[in-house]
Amino acid sequence: MSEPVAVARINFRFECQPGCVNCCARPGDVFLTEEDRTRIAAHLSLTGAEFTDRYCVPEDDQGLRLSNPGKTACHFLEPNGCRIHDVKPLQCRTFPFWPETVSTRKSWKGLSGYCPGVGVGQILPIEMVRAEAQRCADAFPEQQV
């Protein structure tokens, strides 16, 4: 287990907006857990090795992650949304509650530049925000996702 995540003392409001895929369209690495690989491969009717060969960067010291397909930021982003939404990676499931985005007011507010769900909806329990950020930190202790 990694160090406890720091969470800003602010009112976190977030509600994913229908039809928005802005988080999926951003450049950057999508790291995968072994469980992600197994779950997504099964969903796509592939073996873990086939999934890795087709969709991942060769493993290195940065860990298992999706490769960049070139035309879009993600292999699984389609005009109607995420093709693997029901089995999406932990990193995607915990967005926007990543350790680096919930640690300060400035980082949280910075998300609103591309995420229309930030600042919308009910105030979320700080325990839920902390738990989601901790899940991400524990899964990827050496990464800033």
Question: Alpha-carbon distance 139 to 8, whole Å?
Answer: 21
pLDDT for position 142: 78
pLDDT for position 139: 94
pLDDT tens track for 24-82: 988 889 999 999 999 999 999 999 999 999 999 987 878 899 998 877 789 999 888 89
Q: Is the pLDDT of residue 2 over 80?
A: no
Residue count of the chain, please give it: 145
pLDDT for position 117: 97
CA-based nearest residue to 118, from 22, 25, 27:
22
pLDDT for position 145: 55
Alpha carbon distance, N-terminus to C-terminus of the chain: 17
pLDDT for position 134: 97
pLDDT for position 144: 59
pTM above 0.95, yes or no: no
CA dihedral 43, 46, 49, 51 (to 10 degrees): -60
pLDDT for position 73: 81
- The radius of gyration computed from the CA coordinates of the chain, to the nearest angstrom, equals 15
pLDDT tens track for 68-126: 887 778 999 988 889 999 999 999 999 999 999 999 999 999 999 999 999 999 999 99
